[in-house]
Amino acid sequence: MFSISSKIGYSRGSISSDGPLVSGAEIIEVDIVDPRNWPKRTKVFMSLGGILAVFVATLGNSMYIGSVNGVQEHFHISLTLALSPITFYSLGFSFGPLVATATSEVFGRAIVYRTAIAVALIFTVVSASAHSFATLAVGRFLAGAAVSPCLGATVAMLNDLWDLHTDKVGIILSIIWGLSLIWAACLGPLIGEAIVQRTENWRWSMWLIAILLGVTSLCLLRNHETYMPEILRRDGKRRGQAVLPRGNLGELLYVSIGRPLHMLLVEPIIFPTALLVAFSQAILFVFYVAYPLMLTTVYSFTPIEIGCAFLPMLIGTFCAFGILGVFNKKAQESTKPRQLEHQLYPAMIGSIMQPVALFWLAWSARPSVHWIAPLLSGLFYGCAFVLVQYPFPMYKVLVYGKEYGASISAVDISIRYLLSSVCPLFTVQMVKRLTFAWAMSLLAFISLLMLPVPWVILKWGPELRARSKYMAKAKDHDNPPNDAKATVITDCGANDINVEASVQPGSANEKV
């Protein structure tokens, strides 16, 4: 294990072995242990625990599809109102990532996702045992809000543990993290329908999530803290020494919420790409409602068969990762310099496949056409979904660097779930008034309007980046001046704190 023992000077801006950077800074002696140098087995176990939390959190929304009919009958409410708990859960999901960025940088990663899972478990139990629809709706919202920080905290933990640019195991785990979101969204309706049909009780779609949250909570108990400033604070307290005070939560909330929203308004790259990614996910939420309506009226599908109808989308995601792998291999083999916008080539394919899939679904779903024809459109949509969802966030993280990458990711997730949350509320009326064919065609036409986004970014992206104030700051942040001494830097995200340990090679303070 690699460790550096040195005199550390704490300041609000950085921590340096050269002593305090500002007058009055407290100096303590600590051992800096980089989580990236922990045993690989430990890092893999911790990473998989975080990925399980993300999978269960996402599954908690899509599995509710199996309970819709039971909720409607039990509480004697309309279909739209029975679907609204999906909206409430998604609304909770939209706020959590912004707040999680701040809290994880004040209290550390581990306590954030452990607390998130525990609180989500409580409100999931409240939802499952609800005796009024109001209790169910409020419980769903609070469960979504409670568990949503797991998305951001897990990404931060993966970045703490692995070099996600060069470490093959870390790259694979980050891919699995992405797959967990997509697989949960596609498998949830099938699992939900199956468990409700098996038990003949609509509450069991939520009881199963409560059980999975309990298992996840046990898996996360052995996870260690990975956030470097929190590691330093705990080490200092253990030694009985003065420690770096925690950051101001109010300031961090401003950085985590105010800055992403400001970037959304002033950065021309962010809004159109975030909207395209959000609309791609919103289509999936429309499918949650439109698929059952179409398959029951046109093909007389049973609930289990409706759940299976989402499997072609799952298969399509595997095809998409094959396409991403081909582009990645070509990029590695190429000796020519590549501009950042070349990351968007897969998104160009996805933006074409998405309207094709929607038109295919719209005009093949009719009694005279075999049911397999409309369902096969899910292969195209599942593939397009991944090809749109992956390249844009990666491109923006590369554009804005480490300093602003967390802000961009948080605002992306929030917009996705804000837009998606309203879809179940109007889908029933849209399908009834426009017919299924024209409702899906409307989504296809909107997709066509958004189709040029990756081409526009490819052509004018360098000019837009050149005019970006945030990118200029990120470039300065990610390219510090060279030092003659060896420097270990751990980026700490939105708190703008760097941990630097500069030691003379071969000095007594260097340990290997």
Task: Count other Cβ atoms within 10 Å, centred on residue 107.
Answer: 17
What pLDDT score does 406 carry?
65
Q: Tokens 């499952």 — which residue?
A: 128
What pLDDT score does 465 carry?
85
Query: What percent of the chain stands above pLDDT 70?
Result: 82
Asked whether the predicted pLDDT for residue 16 surpasses 60, the reply is: no
Interatomic CA distance for residues 354 and 352, integer angstroms: 6
Sort strands 14-16 and 498-500 into parallel, antiparallel or unpaired: parallel
Per DSSP, the residues of 296-311 read HHHS---HHHHHHTTH
Average predicted confidence (pLDDT) for the chain: 81
Using 50, 70 and 90 to split pLDDT, how confident is the model at 227?
confident
* Spatial CA neighbour of 83 closest among 93, 70, 68: 68
Tokens of 138: 């409020």
User: Among positive and negative, which fits the CA dihedral 501, 241, 246, 159?
Assistant: positive
Is-contact 343 390, C-beta < 8 A? no
What pLDDT score does 19 carry?
38
Least confident of 20-24, 239-243, 351-355, 412-416: 20-24
Q: Which of the pair, 167 or 16, is modelled with greater confidence?
A: 167
Asked whether the predicted pLDDT for residue 422 surpasses 60, the reply is: yes
The H-or-E segment that residue 489 falls in is strand 489-491
Asked whether the predicted pLDDT for residue 372 surpasses 90, the reply is: yes
What pLDDT score does 20 carry?
40
What pLDDT score does 502 carry?
35
pLDDT in tens, 460-500: 988 888 888 776 555 554 454 444 333 332 333 333 333 33
What pLDDT score does 241 carry?
67
Q: Do the first three CATH levels of 37-229 and 258-478 match, i.e. the same topology?
A: yes
Q: Which of the pair, 383 or 167, is modelled with greater confidence?
A: 383
343 Cβ contact partners less than 8 Å away, ≥ 6 residues apart: 391, 394, 395, 398
Long-range contacts of 137-142 (CB under 8 A, 24+ apart): 137/84, 137/85, 137/88, 138/88, 140/64, 140/85, 140/88, 140/89, 140/92, 141/88, 141/89, 141/91, 141/92, 142/92
Asked whether the predicted pLDDT for residue 341 surpasses 70, the reply is: yes
Q: Which of the pair, 237 or 494, is modelled with greater confidence?
A: 237
Is-contact 160 35, C-beta < 8 A? yes
What pLDDT score does 299 carry?
94
SS3 call for 505: coil
What pLDDT score does 244 carry?
63
Q: What is the CATH number of domain 37-229?
A: 1.20.1250.20
* DSSP H helices in 338-390: 345-364, 372-389
* Spatial CA neighbour of 375 closest among 300, 309, 433: 309
Tokens of 337: 């310099």
Asked whether the predicted pLDDT for residue 206 surpasses 60, the reply is: yes
Interatomic CA distance for residues 103 and 110, integer angstroms: 11
Tokens of 91: 């609304």
pLDDT in tens, 300-317: 999 899 999 999 999 999
Tokens of 432: 């009834």
pLDDT in tens, 398-413: 787 656 766 777 788 8
pLDDT in tens, 145-203: 999 888 878 887 888 888 877 788 888 888 888 888 889 988 999 999 999 999 999 99
Burial annotation 292-306 (CB, 10 A radius, 16+ → b, else e):
bbbbeeebebebeeb
The CATH architecture annotation of domain 258-478 reads Up-down Bundle (1.20)
What pLDDT score does 482 carry?
43
288 Cβ contact partners less than 8 Å away, ≥ 6 residues apart: 62, 65, 86, 189, 423, 424
Using 50, 70 and 90 to split pLDDT, how confident is the model at 501?
very low
* Spatial CA neighbour of 225 closest among 97, 96, 46, 44: 46
Interatomic CA distance for residues 105 and 494, integer angstroms: 8
Asked whether the predicted pLDDT for residue 5 surpasses 60, the reply is: no
CA atoms within 13 A on the CB side of 326: 9
Using 50, 70 and 90 to split pLDDT, how confident is the model at 248?
low
Is-contact 327 345, C-beta < 8 A? yes
Sort strands 27-33 and 3-10 into parallel, antiparallel or unpaired: antiparallel
The H-or-E segment that residue 14 falls in is strand 14-16
pLDDT in tens, 434-471: 999 999 999 999 999 999 999 999 989 888 888 887 76
Sort strands 510-511 and 3-10 into parallel, antiparallel or unpaired: antiparallel
Sort strands 3-10 and 14-16 into parallel, antiparallel or unpaired: antiparallel
Mean pLDDT of 497-510: 36
> Which amino acid, 141?
F
Asked whether the predicted pLDDT for residue 18 surpasses 50, the reply is: no
What pLDDT score does 403 carry?
64
SS3 call for 451: coil
End-to-end CA distance of the chain: 7
Domain coordinates of the chain in residue numbers? 37-229, 258-478
Asked whether the predicted pLDDT for residue 31 surpasses 50, the reply is: no
